[in-house]
Amino acid sequence: MTPAIAAIIWAIGLVAWVAIRLPYRRRARRLRVVRARRDLTERIVLPLAGIGLSVVPTVYLLTGFPAFADYRFQPWMGWAGAVAQLAFLALFYASHRQLGRNWSVTLEIRDEHRLVTDGLYRYVRHPMYSSFWLWGLAQLLLLPNWLAGPAGLVGVAVLYFARVGSEETMMRQTFGDAYDAYASRTGRIVPRIFG
């Protein structure tokens, strides 16, 4: 494992992210939105997450900036990063498939929105956000730079903490007791182990 291979593994994650999302974005555009939360936080945190997960690392890989923050690459980091990247892609792909027409980039409820409680959603309420955390971890492990490496995790943290509460409020307003019952038996991003 070399820094160049680690960089390629990171880039494959970015390309796969766009490719997996594309059909869902297209479909979502055609479905009527009945409830949306597009507040200021949503408008700020989404671009911030995108900067941390794609712009900062892309600039780093293309230009080497910021070189002063480079540190020595260790092969084990590349291997661990590859495992995290694979886990990210598997969860990202599966959660899109299982959410199907209920998926959206921003917080939205669509016409005939169904509360998904099966597949990954049987164990966790936010498997796609679990995948984002893994993606941030993969970036940290794959890019040996004190700024470009953790930038993804910072972006994910901002997005996750700014959004997850309002997303659950929106789901509660839409699905009422059914969501409360669902929330009581699931974890947010990791499965509940103790009852």
Q: How far is the CB of 76 from ligand SAH (least distance, A)?
A: 29
Q: Which is nearer to ligand SAH, 58 or 174 (CB)?
A: 174
108 touches ligand SAH (CB under 6 A): yes
Distance CA 46, CA 68 (A): 28
Structure tokens at 65: 């900036």
- Residue of 77, 109, 151, 153 interacting with ligand SAH (CB under 6 A): 109
User: Mask 77-96, x = binds ligand SAH (CB under 6 A)?
Assistant: ------------------x-
70 touches ligand SAH (CB under 6 A): no
Q: How far is the CB of 164 from ligand SAH (least distance, A)?
A: 7
Contacts of 64 (CB under 8 A, 6+ apart): none
Q: Which is nearer to ligand SAH, 77 or 156 (CB)?
A: 156
- Residue of 102, 137, 145, 159 interacting with ligand SAH (CB under 6 A): 102
- Residues of this chain, 124-183, that bind ligand SAH according to CB under 6 A: 126-129, 167, 171
**Where does the chain show beta strands of DSSP type E?**
33-37, 107-110
Q: How far is the CB of 7 from ligand SAH (least distance, A)?
A: 27
Contacts of 37 (CB under 8 A, 6+ apart): 106, 107, 108, 166, 167, 170
Q: Are 149 and 139 spatial neighbours (Cβ–Cβ below 8 Å)?
A: yes
Contacts of 107 (CB under 8 A, 6+ apart): 36, 37, 38, 42, 163, 166, 167, 170
Q: List beta partners, residue 35.
A: 109
Q: Which is nearer to ligand SAH, 2 or 173 (CB)?
A: 173
Site residues, ligand SAH (CB under 6 A): 95, 99, 102-104, 107-109, 115-116, 121, 126-129, 167, 171
